[in-house]
Amino acid sequence: MDLGIELPELVPPFGEYVPAVRSGHQLWLGGHFGTGDDGSILTGRVGDSVSVERARAAARSAAVNLISTVRAELGSLDRVERVVHLFGVVNSTPEFVGQTGVVDAASEVFVAVFGDAGRHARLAVGVASLPGDLVLEIEVVLDVRDPDNGSGRPNGGP
């Protein structure tokens, strides 16, 4: 099924960290942010300079950027068994209380790409500021399967 989602080039880390870490059968992905069609970083505060629609677009973009990192780390999205947890942090004014609706846009991307395996536990919160004035950051934890080494069994096992 073609969802019309084009995975962008990876955005390099802006600090002393890696974008993803594999631990056992889980892949932990650090905070990803939304980017515009031109690759620009989406900035601003929801409830002030950023509309809910623009914030939802940033959440969708952050989810697509996360999926791009997943493909780079695993070599294929077919190795994703389940999206376990999504954590969304929205740069918003104290009066704005719609963080869940903003982060829903990222959740919708994971469900569109992975089907029922994309349904996840989640936390969506608002904060007074984010580094670089980012609109939001999203991180996820995935369950992943080992690669099939040609035997039809994980790790080429018995």
What pLDDT shows up at residue 151? 41
Q: How far apart are CA 47 and CA 146, in angstroms?
A: 43
Task: Identify whether 59 is part of a domain.
Answer: yes
Number of domains in the chain: 1
Q: Which of 89-93, 117-121, 152-156 has the lowest mean pLDDT?
A: 152-156
Residues 6+ apart with CB under 8 A from 83: 110, 114, 117, 118, 119, 120, 140, 141, 142
Task: Identify whether 127 is part of a domain.
Answer: yes
Q: Which helix (H) or strand (E) holds 122?
A: strand 121-127
pLDDT tens, position by position, 17-57:
899 999 999 999 999 999 998 989 999 999 999 999 999 99
Task: Identify whether 57 is part of a domain.
Answer: yes
Q: In this structure, what CATH number is given to the domain that contains residue 52?
A: 3.30.1330.40
Domain that holds residue 89: 20-144
pLDDT higher at 14 or 130: 130
pLDDT tens, position by position, 51-109:
999 999 999 999 999 999 999 999 999 999 999 999 999 999 999 999 999 999 999 99
Buried b (16+ CB within 10 A) or exposed e, 76-85: eeebbebbee
Task: Identify whether 24 is part of a domain.
Answer: yes
pTM strictly above 0.85:
yes
Task: Identify whether 150 is part of a domain.
Answer: no
Task: Identify whether 3 is part of a domain.
Answer: no
Task: Identify whether 82 is part of a domain.
Answer: yes
